[in-house]
């Protein structure tokens, strides 16, 4: 446990205590305000960012964060006004009753958890949270990140600086240890893996090819290589020991006549897919008529981005 854990716990305790002080109704209104403002901001920030880009001279890396924060604050303020009107119908006796105060702990606690999740997501993906991994070893941060992975893509898109995806070269790509990739805090993203499979099959369908099916062994091979690249801080088809994709497949007992591997590192799934499709060698793998099976692994490390591995075979 470190300072980040203490802060997140303190946030939950403070909101739970406020829930007791305010009572159930006020605390419930507060929960709806936070959740509603967050939902509105996540749904609409992209549209506002386009307007900011068009009409204001704002640096690109600030357009989405500012749009998100403006929407969140505006929605929170408007919802606050609405609930102020609703609270007028609640009698003082109801507000001050013991039952109302005790039950207020529940929405207060939930509001604290919601705020902690929001804070955790921003900390994990934010460019301002880039201290060495050992100093960032937060138990709660890791737990909240893994249990709310569905938020990662949205928050990463808002708070990470846009940059083009990195696409692997040939199988002779040199091993190159780098802090740019090194991370021990990452989570599997089966939701993104399913989206990537759909993207691959959409491309194959356009080309009149048979669709790829997921293979468990290939997926395990992809996951192991993605995790190894993050853990040891490199981006290459070859491991530091020189083991290439085909050697790794054979070692795992995967039988094949034809096989291939695609690698990408990005903060955005669509950008990674576009990068692969714009690279002749990787496009050839995706549209290879000899391939019928695929294993996809996508690991999300927050501020270190997405590590994507595709393993193909006949």
Q: Report pLDDT digits (tens) over 191-247.
A: 889 999 999 999 999 999 999 999 999 999 999 999 999 888 888 888 888 888 888
Higher pLDDT, 152 or 63: 63
Q: Is the pLDDT of residue 51 over 70?
A: yes
pLDDT tier at 22 (50, 70, 90 boundaries)?
confident
Could you give the percent of the chain with pLDDT greater than 90?
22
pLDDT at 212: 93
Task: Tell how strand 259-266 and strand 166-167 pair up.
Answer: antiparallel
Q: Is the pLDDT of residue 31 over 70?
A: yes
Clarify whether residues 7 and 155 are in a common domain. yes
pLDDT at 131: 41
Q: How many residues does the chain have?
A: 314
Clarify whether residues 154 and 274 are in a common domain. no
Question: 77, 75, 83, 97: which is closest to 27 by C-alpha?
Answer: 83
Does a structural domain hold residue 182?
A: no
Q: Is residue 53 a contact partner of residue 91, using CB atoms and an 8 Å limit?
A: no
Total of domains in the chain: 2
For tokens 């300072």, the residue is 3
Clarify whether residues 151 and 241 are in a common domain. no
Clarify whether residues 152 and 197 are in a common domain. no
pLDDT at 122: 67
Q: What is the pTM of this model?
A: 0.55
Clarify whether residues 75 and 149 are in a common domain. yes
pLDDT at 136: 46
Which CATH number goes with the domain that contains 217? 3.40.33.10
For 283-306, the pLDDT digits (tens) are: 889 999 999 999 999 998 877 788
Clarify whether residues 13 and 123 are in a common domain. yes
Positive or negative, the CA dihedral 93, 96, 98, 103 is positive
Higher pLDDT, 67 or 123: 67
Q: Is residue 20 a contact partner of residue 108, using CB atoms and an 8 Å limit?
A: yes
- Please name the residues in contact with 233: beta carbons below 8 A apart, sequence gap of 6 or more: 177, 178, 179, 180, 181, 182, 183
Clarify whether residues 135 and 210 are in a common domain. no
Clarify whether residues 28 and 94 are in a common domain. yes
Q: Is the pLDDT of residue 167 over 50?
A: yes
- Residue 125 to residues 80, 131, 145, 160, 161, Cα–Cα distance (Å): 29, 12, 10, 7, 10
pLDDT tier at 1 (50, 70, 90 boundaries)?
low
Clarify whether residues 201 and 146 are in a common domain. no
Clarify whether residues 271 and 151 are in a common domain. no
pLDDT tier at 165 (50, 70, 90 boundaries)?
low
Query: Got the DSSP string for 121-167?
Result: HHHHH-TT--S-GGGG--HHHHHHHHHTGGGHHHHHHHHSPP-PPEE
Separation between Cα atoms, residue 243 and residue 85, nearest integer Å: 67
Domain boundary among 142, 159, 176: 159
Does a structural domain hold residue 20?
A: yes
Q: Is the pLDDT of residue 104 over 60?
A: yes
Lowest mean pLDDT among 7-21, 135-149, 174-188, 251-265: 135-149
Separation between Cα atoms, residue 310 and residue 292, nearest integer Å: 13
Residue 289, domain extent: 187-313
Angle at alpha carbon of residue 147, lines to 16 and 196, rounded to 5°: 145
For tokens 């934010």, the residue is 126
Does a structural domain hold residue 91?
A: yes
pLDDT at 135: 38
Does a structural domain hold residue 174?
A: no
Does a structural domain hold residue 173?
A: no
Does a structural domain hold residue 131?
A: yes
Does a structural domain hold residue 167?
A: no
Clarify whether residues 217 and 143 are in a common domain. no
Residue 66: strand, helix, or coil: helix
Higher pLDDT, 125 or 158: 158
Average pLDDT, the chain: 80
Task: Tell how strand 259-266 and strand 293-300 pair up.
Answer: unpaired
Does a structural domain hold residue 180?
A: no
Q: Is the pLDDT of residue 173 over 50?
A: no
Q: Is residue 304 a contact partner of residue 181, using CB atoms and an 8 Å limit?
A: yes
Clarify whether residues 151 and 193 are in a common domain. no
In this prediction, residues 127-142 reach a mean pLDDT of 48
């Amino acid at each position: 446990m470190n300072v980040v854990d203490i802060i997140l716990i303190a946030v939950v305790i403070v909101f739970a205590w406020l829930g007791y002080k305010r009572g159930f109704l006020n605390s419930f209104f507060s929960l709806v305000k936070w959740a509603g403002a967050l939902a509105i901001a996540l749904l609409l920030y992209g549209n506002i960012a386009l307007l900011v880009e068009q009409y204001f001279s704002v640096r690109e890396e600030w357009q989405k964060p500012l749009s998100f924060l403006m929407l969140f604050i505006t929605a929170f303020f408007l919802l606050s006004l609405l609930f102020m009107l609703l609270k007028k119908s609640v009698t003082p006796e109801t507000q001050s009753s013991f039952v109302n105060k005790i039950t207020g702990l529940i929405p207060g606690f939930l509001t604290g958890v919601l705020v902690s999740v929001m804070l955790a997501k921003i900390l994990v993906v934010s460019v301002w949270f880039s201290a060495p991994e050992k100093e960032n070893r937060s138990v709660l941060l890791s737990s909240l990140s893994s249990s709310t992975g569905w938020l990662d893509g949205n928050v990463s898109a808002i708070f990470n600086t846009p940059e083009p995806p990195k696409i692997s070269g040939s199988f002779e790509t040199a091993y190159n240890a780098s802090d740019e990739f090194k991370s021990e805090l990452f989570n599997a993203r089966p939701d993104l893996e399913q989206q990537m499979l759909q993207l691959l099959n959409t491309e194959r369908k356009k080309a009149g090819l048979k669709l790829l099916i997921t293979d468990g062994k290939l997926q395990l091979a992809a996951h192991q290589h993605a995790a190894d690249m993050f853990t040891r801080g490199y981006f290459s088809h070859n491991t530091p020991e020189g083991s290439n994709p085909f050697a790794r497949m054979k070692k795992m007992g995967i039988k094949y006549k034809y096989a291939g591997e695609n690698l990408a590192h990005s903060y955005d799934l669509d950008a990674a897919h576009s990068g692969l499709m714009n690279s002749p060698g990787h496009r050839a793998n995706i549209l290879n008529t000899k391939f019928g099976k695929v294993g996809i692994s996508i690991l999300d490390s927050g501020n270190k981005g997405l590590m994507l591995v595709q393993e193909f075979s006949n």
